[in-house]
Chains A and B, each alone.
Chain A
Amino acid sequence: MVEYVPILIFLGVATLFPVATLVIARLLRPSVYNKTKLEAYECGVPPSGEARARYPVRFYIIAVLFVVFDVETIFLFPWAVKFKALGVFGFIEMLVFLGILLVGFAYAWKKGALEWV
């Protein structure tokens, strides 16, 4: 059990540090509240509109496309690492995979999903 003692100490310090910081900051800082201070911070310009405004739906469509094409790297990366070992089979396999993705991409393009409308 002795080898776990450092972990225990680490856990204790890790818990105490943020708690202590928050408490000390609370004690030291002056608490002056006014309208300007409570306002949402928008890069120094006067804020416009609600902070919890809705995003236009287009962002979701871009997100949908991004999510799908983003994860293809999951398969590309290990394939690239083991490219030599996989040989011709791996190459053809990846071509098939990319071909399928390309069909999806062409479909999305043709359907106008990439246009910013």
Chain B
Amino acid sequence: MRVEFFLLIGALLFTIGCAGVLIRRNAIVILMCIELMLNAVNLTFVAFALENQSMTGHIFVFFVMTVAAAEAAIGLAIVIALFRRRRTTDVEDASLMRW
């Protein structure tokens, strides 16, 4: 297999994640799209590590995964706090402050 395929898939996943963050309205779905972006980054790192024959990329992936988990935990906590006050997870409804 050639490395370019992995890079391409990584780029595609990243774009899908990006588009999802910008288009979707549900906070949980946006959170999932951000996770998708981070996983696309992981794939890119591993592909480059394979091509460069270096371990750094693999190690970077460990840290990205850990931080992504911590981020997901905090994101869920914030969404729960918001849900308890508002009974919704739609970001359009989070509009107390504008301009």
Which A positions have Cβ atoms within 8 angstroms of B?
57, 60-61, 63-65, 67-68, 70-71, 74-75, 78
B80 near A74: Cβ-Cβ < 8 Å: no
Q: Which residue of B lies closest to A64 (CB)?
A: B73
Of B6-14, B16-24, B63-71, the segment with at least 4 beta carbons within 8 Å of chain A is: B63-71
List residues of chain B with CB within 8 A of the CB of A60: 76, 79-80
> Does B60 have its Cβ within 8 Å of any Cβ on chain A?
no
Q: Which residue of A lies closest to B58 (CB)?
A: A78
B73 near A74: Cβ-Cβ < 8 Å: no
| Cross-interface CB contact of B66 among A61, A64, A71, A78, cutoff 8 Å | A71
The distance from the CB of B79 to the nearest CB of chain A, in whole angstroms, is: 8
A68 near B65: Cβ-Cβ < 8 Å: no
Range for the number of chain B residues in contact with chain A: 10 to 19
The distance from the CB of B12 to the nearest CB of chain A, in whole angstroms, is: 17
The main secondary structure of chain A at its interface with chain B is helix
B83 near A71: Cβ-Cβ < 8 Å: no
Q: Which residue of B66, B72, B73, B79 has the most chain A CB atoms within 10 A of its CB atom? A: B73
B62 near A68: Cβ-Cβ < 8 Å: no
B62 near A67: Cβ-Cβ < 8 Å: no
Report the bound CA distance from A63 to B79 in whole Å: 13
Q: Which residue of B lies closest to A77 (CB)?
A: B62
List residues of chain B with CB within 8 A of the CB of A61: 80
Report the bound CA distance from A70 to B83 in whole Å: 25
| Cross-interface CB contact of B62 among A57, A70, A75, cutoff 8 Å | A75
Quick one: given A67-B72, A68-B73, are A57 and B80 in contact (CB under 8 Å)?
yes
Report the bound CA distance from A74 to B76 in whole Å: 21
Quick one: given A71-B65, A74-B66, are A57 and B73 in contact (CB under 8 Å)?
no
A63 near B76: Cβ-Cβ < 8 Å: yes
> Does B77 have its Cβ within 8 Å of any Cβ on chain A?
yes
A67 near B69: Cβ-Cβ < 8 Å: yes
Q: Which residue of A lies closest to B67 (CB)?
A: A71
A57 near B83: Cβ-Cβ < 8 Å: yes
List residues of chain B with CB within 8 A of the CB of A68: 69-70, 73
